[in-house]
Structure 1
Amino acid sequence: MRHLEAPELSFLCDMELTVEGAHLPGKTPIGNRRIIRVTGGKLRGEKLTAEVIPGGDDWITVREDGTIIQDVRILLQTEDNALILMTYRGVRTGSKEVLGRLDAGEDVDPSEYYFRTAPIFETADPKYDWLNRRIFISNGIRLPNGVNYSIYTVE
């Protein structure tokens, strides 16, 4: 069996999202559900600069241990007016105490919890077609009124 080296990462952009308070539909057979409306945001990087068009959603499932599974769909508009669909799934988890602090809206040091996502981009714009053909990952931080991510291309 051949062992391959780990892929390298290159910085794509930082993303900041603003969100509304959670809509809490309650516990379903899958887990506790939260739906959070994305009200705006921005992406800033050398290869990708865009604004987040308000109206996307984060459909969250909260597992029994407090781990959050994200399912996010947002629409981006670049500074040259290209439209890009961005979806991502992610995991945010930590100790019960840390997750409680995050849920209470506290500013918690990101070293105290695990928060990663796997973004996928989709666009019809030829200038940004390369986004359709790459894998991306991000580190995240939960803030009192939103989230920030640093997104990397897997080379």
Structure 2
Amino acid sequence: MPMDHLAHKHLVTLTLDVDFRSMLVIGSTPGGLRRIAPVTGGRFSGERMNGTVLPGADWVINRSDGVMVIDVRLALETDDSALIYLTYQGRFLASAEAMTRFSKGELLKPGEYSLVIVAKFECGDEQYAWLNNVITVGTGQQMAHGPVYSLFEIG
């Protein structure tokens, strides 16, 4: 395999429902404006696993340079009742003007921003133990109810 090729395959599409109205505003901290957005549910689907997103949260920091840093922790329940812990970190980049509109609740066009994450899974169920060794990256799209991510297994 050439060194300039990144082997990857689609793992899951992850759709989150976020309760933006219930977001907790911690306030300005040394790292930036800290908020906590409740994830109330959602779905995930892929070739090897499907299921429901259980409640969790996104610990958000809006840095002074305009970048929104995300830190999400969730539990997933597969359709066959296995529980999986999912955590991911990433960033949402957009121009200052687009970020201002976004902060007011406006949906941005896909070309106006970049949402990229690195995810990690943990699972004790034998059927999904393979997830413990998966390196995952993803891209996201902003929707009114919350983000939709395409997650890819690397290598």
TM-score bucket (shorter structure):
over 0.9
Unaligned runs of 5+ in 1: none
Q: 1:65 Cα shift? A: 2.0
State the match for 1:41 in structure 2.
42
Q: Does the Cα contact within 8 Å between 1:10 and 1:152 map onto a contact in 2?
A: yes
1:19 correspondence with 2:2: no
1:77 correspondence with 2:61: no
Matches within 5 A, 1:32-111: 32-54=33-55, 56-111=56-111
Q: Between the two proteins, what is the percent identity of the paired residues?
A: 37
State the match for 1:29 in structure 2.
30
Unaligned runs of 5+ in 2: none
The one-letter code matched in structure 2 to 1:99 is: M
Length, aligned pairs only: 152
TM-score with structure 2 setting the length: 0.93
State the match for 1:112 in structure 2.
112
1:149 correspondence with 2:149: yes
TM-score with structure 1 setting the length: 0.93
Q: 1:108 Cα shift? A: 1.4
Q: Does the Cα contact within 8 Å between 1:102 and 1:142 map onto a contact in 2?
A: no
Could you list the structure 1 runs, at least 4 aligned residues long, displaced by more than 6 angstroms after superposition: none
